[in-house]
Structure 1
């Protein structure tokens, strides 16, 4: 089994687990949403569904490229929430400020990771 294939499974598992967590702990995700976004609960649940679906589709050879592009779009779409967290560290006192800022380049890493499967 190649490293690329192993990492594809890792990304898919990560996405499915993250998506399921949106349903288990929606308030955590609602808390990180910028206040200018409407309907935070619905957006959290929608993004959770997208993460689960795209994670599963990433493992289906026929839909892998489409799922990878969907993940790229999703990572771009959630970037404002990560930026909001970094800009408002007082709302997240349990998370070190440096970690809040490190989340921003992590989005780039996730985008590159997903692009590998397009």
Structure 2
């Protein structure tokens, strides 16, 4: 999955930066920066594939494309706040709520085999959930650790 690759790659780059130039940088900050990059990356999909992503929302919900675009803007905001470190706890809780609320949409899309890029029903299907649900929980644990728990004393150097 692309967001996970972006998360790990950006974390590795930030960790290398910290080891070379800022050895006292905390692990929580590195995780926040990597998550910020990941959210900025995932926000792109909302603007590149708005029609396909709107198919992930049940028909009974109005203004589906508008909701996709608004959630993309929200993810940009999350990414920028994560990168800046401002209002860590408030942003952390907001992201946790967002991730909990978006999980049913991922379940719906998997049940209906929605391909988020095209909106067609030839997507990965229910087997995708065996990866997506643990991944969502992993993101939630990282958000909690880096934003809400506010770890102290875990340094790279």
Normalised to the residue count of structure 2, the TM-score between the two structures is 0.66
Q: Over the residues paired in the alignment, what is the CA RMSD in angstroms?
A: 2.0
What is the aligned length? 118
In structure 1, C-alpha distance between the alignment counterparts of 2:140 and 2:130, rounded to whole Å: 17
- 1:2 and 2:26 aligned: yes
Structure 2, unmatched stretches of 5+, are 1-24, 115-119, 149-157
| Equivalent residue, structure 2, for 1:56 | 80
- Give 1:18 shift: 1.1
| Equivalent residue, structure 1, for 2:7 | none
Contact 2:110 2:123 (8 Å CA) reproduced: no
In structure 1, C-alpha distance between the alignment counterparts of 2:134 and 2:33, rounded to whole Å: 22
- Partner SS for 2:58: coil
1:104 to 130, 133, 151: 133
Structure 1, unmatched stretches of 5+, are none
Q: If each structure's helix is expressed as a fraction of its own residues, which one has the higher value? A: 1
Normalised to the residue count of structure 1, the TM-score between the two structures is 0.85
